Amino acid sequence: MGLTGITALAQAATPTEEKPAEKECFNIVGNPDIPLFSGSTKYGGLVFVAGKGAHFEGDIKAHADHVLKELEKELIAAGSSMEKVLKVNVYLADLNDYKAMNEVYLGRFGKNPPVRTTVATYGGVPGNSLVEMDCIAYTTKP
């Protein structure tokens, strides 16, 4: 994406002075009066998806597949898709799972994959998941 593409993306995510963009929250977790967090938040032309984990028995491949499917569900609900993801953060409970996670991750975001940061967590991922992922994407409709 060249400077023009980055500028256009920034403009799509920036509210105008006439009518500021409203933040939309999806899949709120916890008590609706005092929520813990939202599954995703949409602001302007951007979608921010909260970390998704896999909270069941299984290996890293099963967990990674589940997490990627959960990200996709949130993106679709917010009017985006895996192909529109710009950034992914991957948190592994064990860095030794890096190669196997990549085998499942490969190709899930189309032919132009997003930028990605992958780290191993100290003390593990919450809920005994072997992997957690979050992402930022864009939509065609703010």
Specify the pLDDT at position 39: 82
Q: Is 106 left (phi over 0), alpha (psi -120 to 50) or beta?
A: beta
Domain boundaries, the chain: 3-138
pLDDT of res. 1: 47
Q: For the whole model, what pTM was predicted?
A: 0.80
pLDDT band at 33 (very low <50, low <70, confident <90, very high): low
**Among residues of the chain, what percentage have pLDDT more than 70?**
74
Distance (Å, rounded) from C-alpha 33 to C-alpha 12? 31
- Looking at the chain, the whole-number percentage of residues with pLDDT higher than 90 is 61
Q: Give the chain's mean pLDDT.
A: 85
Q: 121 or 38: whose pLDDT is higher?
A: 121
Specify the fold of 3-138. Answer: 60s Ribosomal Protein L30; Chain: A; (3.30.1330)
| Statement: residue 68 has pLDDT above 90 | yes
* pLDDT tens, residue by residue, 74-132: 999 999 999 999 999 999 999 999 999 999 999 999 999 999 999 999 988 888 999 99
Residue 46 has pLDDT above 80, yes or no: yes
Residue 57 has pLDDT above 50, yes or no: yes
Beta strand extents in 2-114 (DSSP E only): 24-31, 34-43, 46-53, 85-92
